[in-house]
Amino acid sequence: MGRILFAGAWIMGLDPERPDCFNGDLLVEDERIVEISEEAGKIERRKTDRVIDGADLLLMPGMINTHGHAAMTLLRGYADDLPLQKWLEEKIWPAEEKLTGDDIYWGTLLAICEMLKGGTTTFADMYFFMDRAAEACVEGKIRAVLSRGLVGLNDGSNEALQEASALQSEWHGGGDGRITVTYGPHSLYTCRPEYLRRVMEEAAKTESALQIHVAETAQEVETCWHDYGSTPVEHLYRLGLFEHRVIAAHCVHISASDIVILGSNKVGVAHNPGSNLKLGSGIAPLAHLLEAGVTVGLGTDGAASNNNLDLLEEMRLAALLAKGNDCEPTLLPAKKALELATVDGAAVLGLPEIGQLKEGFKADLIAFSLKEPQAAPLFEPAAYVVYAAAAADILYVLVDGEPVVEEGRLTKLDEEKIISECLRRAERITGKSNYRT
């Protein structure tokens, strides 16, 4: 990969030891950031393999999507405007019965195209045929935290757990270290206590983390009270789930005591404001979670419930909802929203070498064009990214120091071929024709 120098760029590294934003140089060597100068022109150009003029570029860490179901791109727009349980039981689950490993491979590639072009360099995924998802991640050169989704209510639950363990054995550390494997019990309403205990036992063998949906809807909380006499968070705590490292998706309907449990057990929360709004699930108490010291990252959820994988949009929604929900404009300032999508997301996923632009860190970074009208004037770069920027403003994306997007175009994937293949597969899975074929 060699040495790539971004010369004279505006750098917003989210490193507390440096200014919030400065004009300087950033040098990448192979997969890592090796030098940052707070003064442009200080890093020698002659020792580099490539120099990128940063005069109109804003660099920041690549964004981190802490919750999703990547191959659900194949179901984008198929079952809109329905409540969660009806959406799942009448539309999504029947369609998912038709999915093949090849479908997952192509649907994940489509998601990777969208995420990379939108500045997401790392994503968490919970779905099926995850060995094929891993293959797509290797091809797309993206960083991923993968879980085989586990449902304990059907005849295939034992086989699914075996697949999860095989995925851990075969793919953890794959893709030159870019792939992390975790275990993914879907939720407490699809996994009874005895099955959750089995999942925890398997995860403990390799000290793997767990991804799980928690308190996404009011109905889930009501059912948990009926079945177990507690909230979902309390129920999972009593089962011992939080003795493991846990990525808890949604956490919309949680109490003050739930928040204390999440914070004291260092549970990472994946906040999915767009999906929660679209499915009518509610608004997670983000400000209260942060006030209690809970580590929160941002997620898009699947493209069937969002309907995009745009973390810029999720940052904006998270900030605006926090302010509007509490009628307090000072809540979740732009810099904190950026941290949710970067350094805090890295902490939620347990990936300490990404999420900031620092010497020694992995060179996962993105560069915005500052030539667009929405970037003028540029009084506060963080505010520009959170409140004004669009995915189309992103010109460069590097993962492990390798350019995967240049001048807004993918360098590793055949976008046209992937879209064409996914259109054909989506029609077969849903039985619906679409306007693009």
The pLDDT of residue 301 is 98
Domain boundaries, the chain: 3-61+358-406, 63-349
Show Cβ contacts of residue 96 under 8 Å, excluding neighbours closer than 6 positions: 128
| Crossing angle of helices 193-205 and 232-239, rounded to 10° | 50
pLDDT band at 435 (very low <50, low <70, confident <90, very high): confident
CATH numeric code, 3-61+358-406? 2.30.40.10
- C-beta separation of 56 from 12 below 8 A: no
CATH numeric code, 63-349? 3.20.20.140
Closest residue by Cα to residue 210 from 223, 221, 201, 219: 201
Is residue 33 classed exposed, middle or buried when 0-12, 13-18 and 19+ CB atoms within 10 A define those classes?
A: buried
How many other C-beta atoms are found inside a 10 Å radius of the C-beta of residue 270? 27
Domains 3-61+358-406 and 63-349 share a fold: no
Per-residue model confidence as pLDDT tens digits over 373-399: 999 999 999 999 999 999 999 999 999
Residue 98 CA to residue 413 CA, distance in Å, equals 26
Residue 256 CA to residue 24 CA, distance in Å, equals 44
pLDDT band at 432 (very low <50, low <70, confident <90, very high): confident
pLDDT band at 413 (very low <50, low <70, confident <90, very high): very high
Judged against a pLDDT cut of 70, whether residue 1 lies above it is answered with no
The pLDDT of residue 154 is 83
Judged against a pLDDT cut of 90, whether residue 360 lies above it is answered with yes
pLDDT band at 229 (very low <50, low <70, confident <90, very high): very high
**Angle at the Cα of 213 from the Cα atoms of 209 and 215, rounded to 5 degrees:** 130
Show Cβ contacts of residue 192 under 8 Å, excluding neighbours closer than 6 positions: 152, 153
What average pLDDT score do residues 317-338 get?
96
How many other C-beta atoms are found inside a 10 Å radius of the C-beta of residue 34? 16
Higher pLDDT, 28 or 435: 28
What average pLDDT score do residues 318-347 get?
96
Question: What Cα–Cα distance (Å) separates residue 79 from each residue in 76, 294, 315, 412?
Answer: 8, 33, 25, 31
Judged against a pLDDT cut of 80, whether residue 437 lies above it is answered with no
The number of C-alpha atoms within 13 Å of 276 and in the hemisphere containing its C-beta is 27
Residue 50 CA to residue 47 CA, distance in Å, equals 9
Per-residue model confidence as pLDDT tens digits over 125-164: 999 999 999 999 999 999 999 999 999 988 889 999 999 9
Closest residue by Cα to residue 180 from 248, 114, 124: 124
Per-residue model confidence as pLDDT tens digits over 285-299: 999 999 999 999 999
- C-beta separation of 356 from 15 below 8 A: yes
The pLDDT of residue 156 is 87
Judged against a pLDDT cut of 90, whether residue 216 lies above it is answered with yes
What average pLDDT score do residues 182-187 get?
98
Q: What is the mean pLDDT of the chain?
A: 96
Per-residue model confidence as pLDDT tens digits over 45-82: 888 999 999 999 999 999 999 999 999 999 999 989 98
Judged against a pLDDT cut of 90, whether residue 110 lies above it is answered with yes
Question: What Cα–Cα distance (Å) separates residue 90 from each residue in 78, 83, 163, 207, 428?
Answer: 12, 11, 26, 36, 17
| Crossing angle of helices 193-205 and 157-171, rounded to 10° | 20
Judged against a pLDDT cut of 80, whether residue 436 lies above it is answered with no
CA dihedral 281, 287, 293, 295 (to 10 degrees): 50
